[in-house]
Amino acid sequence: MDRKIAIKVENLYKSFGKGESYISVIEGASFEVYKGELVALVAPSGAGKTTLLMMIGCVEDPTRGTIWLGDEKVYENRWLTRETRRIRREKIGFIFQAHYLIPFLNIIENVTLVPQVNGVPKEQSEKEAMELLEYFDIAEKAHSMPSELSGGQNQRAAIARALANNPEIILADEPTAALDLDRSFDVVKMLKKIATDQDVAVIMVTHDEAMLPLCDRILTIENKKVVSKESKEAKIL
């Protein structure tokens, strides 16, 4: 059965500054990520991992190139819609190193916030949020404040929040950096389970090589090019 493409990037470039301050970060990146796939993005600090993730997430402007998210071409040398915020709300779930839960909202309020902004009725959004919290074994914390949860529980809640808008894509930037090894494994296993169960494409930036065996594929940035590693061999895309 043919795999469905969730993300397609062609000949993507990113540079900053001009003249003496000019810095080129990404040069001609081309790759695809499929639904149901957990992909690690690994590279040295400063190589452009987060920049690449934010370009895919319609947050950072590329210099040029093309980006498809699902069937929608969203960027071709310019954004093809003014509604990049809509694309982020409807297609993408973000997870970060810090959980960024809103401290004055309880857990279920944090999880239901985006769906309600998108017009989902309160009762429906709360029902779906409870299903997510049960999925992550923190349903009993639904009415607790973030300050009352452990770091691992807050990160689970943040993942539930990222899933609350039923995204096609999850972009996770160092989601385990603040966790110990056991909790890191738990989070990455959850991301793998989400990719498989929900048919979601997940890209995870990580520095932790211990997490890589849990991933389906590894993308890295070498000499400003994106390289896919599915085995010991590296293939330039």
What tokens were used for 40? 């690690």
pTM for the model stands at: 0.86
Any domain includes 8: no
Interatomic CA distance for residues 149 and 151, integer angstroms: 7
Q: Which stretches of 49-121 are assigned E, i.e. beta strand? A: 64-69, 72-76, 92-96
Greatest distance between any 2 Cα atoms in the chain: 56
Structural domain contains residue 55: yes
The 10s digit of each residue's pLDDT in 183-234 is 888 889 989 988 998 899 999 999 888 899 999 999 999 888 898 876 344 3
103: domain CATH number?
Answer: 3.40.50.300
Q: Bridge partners of 93?
A: 170
Structural domains counted in the chain: 1
Does 181 fall in a domain?
yes
Q: One digit per residue, pLDDT tens: the chain, 237 residues?
A: 468 999 999 999 999 988 888 999 999 999 999 999 999 999 888 889 999 999 999 999 999 999 999 999 999 999 998 888 888 888 899 988 888 899 999 999 999 998 998 889 999 999 999 999 998 889 999 999 999 998 889 988 998 999 888 899 999 998 888 778 888 888 899 899 889 988 999 999 998 888 999 999 999 998 888 988 763 443 444
The answer to the question of residue 27 being in a domain is no
In a domain, 162, yes or no: yes
**What is the domain range of residue 52?**
37-61+82-236
Please report whether residue 18 resides in a domain. no
For 37, the 3-state DSSP assignment is coil
pLDDT of 230: 67
Q: Is residue 15 in a domain?
A: no
Please answer whether residues 5 and 33 qualify as being in contact, where contact means their C-beta atoms are separated by less than 8 angstroms: yes
Specify whether the CB–CB gap between 141 and 107 falls below 8 A.
yes
CA angle 96, 155, 34 (to 5 degrees): 60
In a domain, 22, yes or no: no
